[in-house]
Structure 1
Amino acid sequence: MDPAIELLPRAGEIAAAMIARCAAEITAYRLLPATVLEGDLVANATAVLELFLTTVAEDRRPTEDELALPIAWGAERARDGLPLEAVLKIYPLAAEVAWEQAAPIGDPVALGTRMLAFLGEVMPRVAEAYLREREDLDWEQREDRQNLAASLLADRPARRRELADRYDVVVFHLPVLPASSGNRASTDVFRAIRSDLDGQPGVLVTVKGDGGVLLVPATVPAGAVAARVDRVCGRHCVAAAARAETHADIPAAHAEAVEVLALAEDLRRPARLYRLADLAVEYQLARPGPAREALAAVLAPLEDHPHLIDALRAFVTSGYNRGEAATALNIHRNTLTYRLGRIQLITGFDATRPADARHLAATVTAYDTAHRNA
């Protein structure tokens, strides 16, 4: 007697036994709702088993149309949240149950050979459909998070249970990439950053203008998240953060962070995460007004000698350390000393004297920010 023909009327019974076996041996299936486990999965397993037995009885391969449903069900399991391992493991377990049912009927070897061929056709296609659906779901979730971040930044309503009460708004610019990287290099880096931060609970990522914006829940250290961005980029980024105590404060916090980031870049500060408190004095000096103009005017006589302004800026940025400043400028320490002497001769301020050094530091801030806004 042909085992396939004998088993066809019992397809529903065997399918139920298949699913019960899978639920007993695969933890992920026990977590599914009973309506899915006892309803959809049994119905799906019945249909696949009937397809297999029919093709065996008719001595043919399944058609593309016939395989469409099993493949689509593989995609559904992705939406159910089942891991791919569990989705694929059900097939050999189900085949084992079918084999046990066929064994008493007659010689099951031919049926087993056809079963292996059937699994060889179905399982790779199911895996492909699952992975494609998983990728689409990940994309949808990423897009949803990006749109959510954009809504909060624009002060549009964003009702989501998982939103944090308070956020640090972190803005950053990518480090300059080598010219050989190609036109899509920045896009690829932003994608890598978004992918890396997708695993950070509550962190929202979007791109605004020429930089990235992160909304980091206040319970998560913003510095640690910024460090993850650095690791993805392979070097440190200049970044700035501002706290938003409510969702309505997010646009203002973003504006503050953008301004602090621009100030840090204008002052050529080392690449790291800054807050307003880190640059409070410089922030005040950067405000337009008579005081800033007076400070910036101190360096006006040096405009024909940009290497002197660079030397002063490096000396201030290094914390008045001649060795570090000379290294940063790629010049000898004695050359730096000579240039500082020239600055004193032209401006009347000695960068090596504490009082004059503080004044010159203020002039550098005023000069750089005034020229940025010119």
Structure 2
Amino acid sequence: MAHRKPGLSAAAAAIAARCEPQVNELARRLAGEVFDQLHGYADLPGDVKDVEIAATVRHALRLFLRGAVAGSRQDALEHFQERAAQRAEEGMPLHLLLRTYTLGARELWGALRKAAGPDEQEALAELAAELFLAADRVVGAVAESYLDEQAALAAEQHEHRRSRAQAVLEGRPVTGGPVPDVPVLVLCLRFEDAAVPDGESPSLVAVRRLVRRVQAVLDRACGTEVLAVLDGRGGHAVVPGASEPPGRIGELLHEATGTPVRLAAAVATRLAGIPRAARLTADVVRIAAARGARPGVHRLDDVLLEYHLSRPSEGSARIAARLDPLAARPELVETLRTHLEQRQDRRATARLLSLHPNSVDNRLARIQELTGLDLLDPRDVALALAALLLREAGPAVRE
């Protein structure tokens, strides 16, 4: 004899038993005229509505009614979870899917009320409580499974898009998608207050959120699918068919990320030229930051002299070494960088660094004392600028 759950009476089981023969008729009506009232349901394929959804409705009705007859709670949610994942893969909206379950519960409640006699209201109330509980459990499981599948699909699509972008930027053949139309605009992005500071473990949630926001801004501003390879510090993006960055792109990215963003742009007229454009834009961003330029959109023409000075050569290591005496004094390096960017205007330098002009003078004197560079001599100014740029390039200049 089946174990009856405490509180579920024989009278409640009897009402459920009277409804069980109506399952097929109820399922047909639900999958047809009842669900047809839902916006978007009529657009679903016929086999989905008439076969798969109808079968799920029959399963749900029988599961509840037989559980009520047996006086035991049914925990078999796997069928609903599998169907929810399938609906997510097919693109059925979640609100539409969930409403089929809530409408199904409403129609079943109507059938239970009709089956109950005037003296069975207490038993009907028991069934109502069980129905609310069952609907809550099923809807929760369906929503969770749907969202899990949707997240997995989104991650798969993102990875596919990222792989295409990586191939384009590296000059490898693009598989699994269309080749971008040329010319393309290649962008290099650098977030000034990085979501993942150097030396720290990344927060995957923070990085993914940042990347999603940046990708959304790029797609919306450019009006097309932008192929991008991004992380918490920045990255590259390829905009098919474009030759100029969208207006206000720096501001839009700043608003989305909450941090100033540096961008460099270059046009590639051939697919084979995209890797070179990517390297060039990365150099332009690095050089603009090294010379102290404010965040925004940078072009090669903006840093033409600095770009030339930063090219590694036989003398690069010696030039970079001129600033070695400042290695333990980052405030002096920042003062030098700002002073050169401000065309050696001591008051402008003081204002940007929140210092008194006399403090700027003292720091400049200390820089000259430590390095031997006379910042009033045009040749030494050029040497100091080249040293800053080459040091920013990293160890490669010392090899």
- Counterparts of 1:103-252 in structure 2, within 5 Å, are 103-107=113-117, 109=124, 111-158=127-174, 159-161=176-178, 163=180, 165-175=182-192, 183-185=200-202, 187-200=204-217, 201=219, 202-207=225-230, 211-219=234-242, 221=245, 224=248, 226-252=250-276
For 1:99, the equivalent position in structure 2 comes to 109
Which residues of 2 match residues 332-343 of structure 1 at below 5 A?
332-336=356-360
- Is the partner of 2:55 in helix, strand or coil? helix
Task: Give the number of aligned pairs.
Answer: 360
The CA distance in 2 between the partners of 1:319 and 1:42, in whole Å, is 76
TM-align CA RMSD? 4.0
The answer (yes or no) to whether the contact 1:75–1:130 under 8 Å persists in 2 is yes
Cα separation, partners in 2 of 1:238 and 1:189, compared to 1, 3 Å: farther
Q: Are the aligned partners of 2:185 and 2:241 in contact in 1 as well (CA < 8 Å)?
A: yes
> 1:301-340 maps to which residues of 2 (within 5 A)?
313-336=337-360
Aligned match of 1:280: 304
- How much has 1:69 moved relative to structure 2? 0.3
1:90 to 96, 100, 104: 100
Q: Report SS of the residue matched to 1:243.
A: strand
Q: Secondary structure at the match of 1:119?
A: helix
Mapped partners of 2:135, 2:332: distance in 1: 76
1:23-50 deviation digits (Å, cap 9, x = unpaired): 4332232332222222211121122122
Matching residue within 16, 29, 38 for 1:4: 16
Once the two structures are TM-superposed, the CA of residue 325 in structure 1 deviates from its matched residue by: 0.8
Which one-letter code corresponds to 1:369 in the other structure? L
Separation in 2, partners of 1:277, 1:247: 23
SS in 1 for 2:301: helix
Amino acid at match of 2:52: D
The 1:232/1:199 distance shift into structure 2, 3 A limit, reads: closer
How far did residue 264 of structure 1 move?
1.9
**AA of the residue aligned to 1:20:** G
- Work out which of the residue numbers 269, 282, 287 in structure 2 matches 1:258: 282
In structure 2, relative to structure 1, the CA distance for the partners of 1:50 and 1:152 (3 Å cut) is same
TM-score by length of 1: 0.78
Larger CA deviation: 84-93 vs 212-221: 212-221
1:13 equivalent to 2:25? Answer yes
**Is the contact made by 1:142 and 1:198 (CA closer than 8 Å) also made in structure 2?**
no
The 8 Å contact of residues 85 and 149 in structure 2, kept in 1 or not, is answered as yes
SS in 1 for 2:302: helix
Q: CA deviation at 1:192?
A: 2.2
Between the aligned partners of 1:240 and 1:321, the Cα distance in structure 2 is 26
Task: Give 2:87's match in structure 1, choosing from 72, 77, 83.
Answer: 77
Judge conservation of contact 2:193–2:260 (CA < 8 Å) in 1: no
**Hey, what does 2:7 align to over in structure 1?**
none
1:368 alignment counterpart: 388
Distance 1:178 1:92, change over 3 A: closer
Report which stretch shifted further, 305-314 or 229-238.
305-314
Aligned residue for 1:28? Answer: 40
1-structure distance, mates of 2:362, 2:28: 89
Q: Distance in 2 between matches of 1:258 and 1:3?
A: 73
Q: SS at the partner of 1:62? A: coil
Secondary structure at the aligned position of 1:238 is classed as: strand
Q: In 2, Cα distance between the equivalents of 1:71 and 1:96? A: 21
SS of 1:268's equivalent? coil
Q: Report the AA paired with residue 340 of structure 2.
A: V
CA contact (8 A) 1:169 1:243 kept: yes
State the AA in 1 paired with 2:290. D
1:288/1:20 Cα in 2 relative to 1: closer, same or farther (>3 Å)? Answer: same
Equivalents in 1 of 2:158, 2:213: separation in Å? 11
C-alpha separation in 2, matches of 1:135 and 1:154: 28
- The 8 Å contact of residues 189 and 232 in structure 1, kept in 2 or not, is answered as no
CA distance in 1, matches of 2:203, 2:345: 35
Using the alignment, how far apart are the partners of 1:227 and 1:186 within structure 2? 25
For 1:186 and 1:277, the matched residues in 2 are separated by 37
User: Could you say what secondary structure the match of 2:77 adopts?
Assistant: helix
- Structure 1: 5+ residue stretches without partners: none
Q: Give the secondary structure class of the aligned counterpart of 1:199.
A: helix
**Aligned-partner residue type, residue 147 of structure 1:** S
- Percent identical among aligned pairs is 25
Distance 2:305 2:214 in 1: 33
Equivalent residue letter for 2:171: D
Separation in 2 of the partners of 1:251 and 1:155? 6
Return the offset for 1:20: 2.5
* Amino acid paired to 2:306: E
* Superimposed CA distance per residue, residues 104-148 of structure 1 (whole angstroms, 9 cap, x where no aligned partner): 433382544432232132122222222222222222222222222
